[in-house]
Structure 1
Amino acid sequence: MFLLMRLKDKMQLISSDNVKLKCNSKNLPADQEEKMQKFAVCAFLMKTFCFCLLMAVLTFTLGVAVVTLAPKLKPIKEGLQLKRATEKSQNFSHSVDQKYKYLNNMQKSKQFKLQGGVVQWARYRANPADYDTPEERAFGESIHSSNARMTASTLLIKPNGCRVPHWHYNANEHGYLASGTAWIGILDSAPFAVTSYNVTKGQVIFLPRSTLHWMKCVGREDCLFILFFTTSDELVTRDVDDVFYATPKDIAARSLKPKGGISFINSFKQPKENQAVNLPPNLNELVHKASYTKSSFFRVSRYFFDMRASRKFRYPGGIMQWARYTKRRFWLPKSERIFAKSLNEHADTVTLATMQIFQNGMRQPHYHFNADTMGYVLAGCGRVGVDRNSTEFNIQKGDVFFFPQGAQHYIKNVGRQDLLLVIAFNTHDELQTLDMDVYFQSTADFILAQLFLKKQEEFRKIPKFKTDQDINLP
């Protein structure tokens, strides 16, 4: 704007000079008048050239300054943006109840309704706008900042519906079948043998990272899977149909070499609807013979485990069952030994457990040395406490809870029926846990007296139990 005003002033000055020359030239001879006019035109052109040259120099200088200073200004700009983002995040964290760092009401979350079923999530999203509620964002950012390597999901498949062949780039998948019967296929790595098995209620599945697999509901009732994926980043999944349609047709034809060549490939028409959980209305026309085979015992035991039929660990206040790796494998059944070895041989796998807490029972305060914890409420309602910020909250059917590694927590049944949980611990080694009664009994009473400012003999009132009190009763 300043430069334009200067240009305007210059033009006005040149015009006034011309007027003066014209006024003064009225009394001059014709030849001198012509010379004066030529001189005025030359003067005007010279001034215009000088002005344009000046503008070019200024523009060049400004460009050099921008290029020179931009790298120095960028960190300042980024610092301001980071400061604003931090302030915004701090304001966000203060506006949401602290309990949602550990609680996700997944049964109330967005339902991704597909042709053959429904999917719901308790997960981290890189873009904050992808969260449906501030509470979901608080939970997602909590598991991500803790690097928990855990994401939870429920997958409901309608009868005859199929979770189509797919694989996950960045996570192992562990699941518990809460209802129904499903036929599951897994394509192993070389020599590329398929392992398939009919999974029933109470059984556990393990699907290693990048392994191609599919799930089909083959019973008369819906299949409900409780799934845990070993990542706290966004889960990356590719379905076979999406990959196929993204491949150039000539490349697909050359790879598959079908009868009919590229004409056969051209006959595939991509549906508008997402086919992740698929159930075509004309399925009976498409499928004439389905064979639900079962693979050999050894292959099946690497990926499937019947946890409901496994050993029950009984406590005064409840029961636990495990699908896990343990160093004391000599007393395990052969199928469990194979499954445990498979878990331990893969990186970033999960230990799964079911926990049944009787009415008035409580999983006493404890923490885990070597694992984060994520769980899903199958039935009942309870009260949970986490030592961080002394947070307490209620849980009910369909909720997901999360406890960071080393955070002491407890779970108490506050309902009129048993509280039933599926719990995942992100370790492929033997889970290491320390309960409150154990660390009190293991600490010298004179140390406790000094710590709690009570007489030493007072701590003799705490009994030593003959049976484990992991899940106790009043």
Structure 2
Amino acid sequence: MAVSYMDFTSPNVQYFYDLKNNRTFTKDANNFINALSIQQLNTLGNVSLLDIYLSKANVVEPHIHQNASELVYCIRGAAIVSILNPFTKTVLNYNITPGQVTNIPQGWFHWEMATEDDTHLLAIFDAPVPEFIAVSDFLRLAPRNMLAHTYCLDQETVTQALAPIKSTTTIGPPADCVHHRQTRPDSFPPKVEQHLQVSYPVYGARQSAYPGIGNGYNQQG
């Protein structure tokens, strides 16, 4: 249980907050994230949350929270929650529907993909402000010659492939992704079985704070 130093006699004490007042990321009208932390509701203890809305085939991009574990609860729709186990070097995929949860240990890479339109997920963290490290930040900022040299890749190919990543993706594919619009709707996302494990390499990412989680910043994707 978190130790609270809140003065509950203070006139500034807060017990209520409307999440729609802190939109932390917007891709479009059907894909967006609202956030709640101690910076919005000062009586919160060691807990925070993200209120996530997704349409089919949209993905909360691969990322980690280096300071918090995460419990993903499905309110409406359906999603595949994928977790990279860094110890077994496997990816765990979990299909969740309303009333079901997936738990993600602190610091593990993970991502969520909606498999139905109007999917609504609640991500709950055991930290007052969860930190967010996105793989897109690593991919867009890492030196191309370093990537090519480290992984024995062609530098020109790497540069061309990663050039479209101009900012933190958060919810992908980006709204202006032409390739995504050319993909048949029934060809993605893939169907997976519960607890399916597949081999997957471990990647790193640059540290960054989750966009706007503490200040109500509106970011358009």
Q: Secondary structure at the match of 1:178?
A: strand
Please show how residues 387-406 of structure 1 align to structure 2 within 5 Å: none
Please show how residues 201-212 of structure 1 align to structure 2 within 5 Å: 201-212=98-109
Residue 293 of structure 1, aligned match among 192, 197, 201: 192
From the superposition, tell whether residues 183 and 296 of structure 1 become closer, same or farther in structure 2 (CA, over 3 Å).
closer
The one of the two structures with greater contact order (alpha-carbon pairs below 8 A, sep at least 6) is: 2
Q: Report the counterpart of residue 263 of structure 1 in structure 2.
A: 156
**TM-score where L is the length of structure 1:** 0.35
Q: Which amino acid aligns with 2:22?
A: S
From the superposition, tell whether residues 123 and 231 of structure 1 become closer, same or farther in structure 2 (CA, over 3 Å).
same
Does 1:117 find its partner at 2:31?
A: yes
Q: Secondary structure at the match of 1:112?
A: strand
Q: Which amino acid aligns with 1:156?
A: Y
- CA displacement 1:241-292 (0-9 Å, x = unmatched): 111222111221123323xx11111102144454101133531536866532
Alignment gaps of 5+ in structure 1: 1-89, 126-135, 300-474
Alignment gaps of 5+ in structure 2: 1-6, 198-221
Q: Secondary structure at the match of 2:32?
A: strand
Q: Secondary structure at the match of 1:104?
A: coil
**TM-score where L is the length of structure 2:** 0.72
Does 1:223 find its partner at 2:119?
A: yes
Tell me, in whole angstroms, the C-alpha distance in 1 between the residues paired with 2:166 and 2:142. Answer: 17
Residue 106 of structure 1, aligned match among 1, 19, 26: 19
Please show how residues 47-62 of structure 1 align to structure 2 within 5 Å: none
CA RMSD of aligned residues (A): 2.5
CA contact (8 A) 2:83 2:111 kept: yes
Shift of 1:150: 0.5
From the superposition, tell whether residues 185 and 110 of structure 1 become closer, same or farther in structure 2 (CA, over 3 Å).
closer
Matched residue count: 182
From the superposition, tell whether residues 289 and 177 of structure 1 become closer, same or farther in structure 2 (CA, over 3 Å).
closer
Does 1:240 find its partner at 2:139?
A: no
- CA displacement 1:338-368 (0-9 Å, x = unmatched): xxxxxxxxxxxxxxxxxxxxxxxxxxxxxxx
Which one has a larger percent helix, Structure 1 or Structure 2? 1
- CA displacement 1:418-472 (0-9 Å, x = unmatched): xxxxxxxxxxxxxxxxxxxxxxxxxxxxxxxxxxxxxxxxxxxxxxxxxxxxxxx
Q: Which amino acid aligns with 1:181?
A: A
From the superposition, tell whether residues 205 and 152 of structure 1 become closer, same or farther in structure 2 (CA, over 3 Å).
same
Shift of 1:165: 0.8
Q: Percent identity?
A: 17
CA contact (8 A) 1:183 1:197 kept: yes
Q: Report the counterpart of residue 153 of structure 1 in structure 2.
A: 50
Name which one, 1 or 2, has greater alpha-carbon Rg: 1
- CA displacement 1:64-109 (0-9 Å, x = unmatched): xxxxxxxxxxxxxxxxxxxxxxxxxx9xx53x4x4x2x22222343
From the superposition, tell whether residues 281 and 156 of structure 1 become closer, same or farther in structure 2 (CA, over 3 Å).
farther
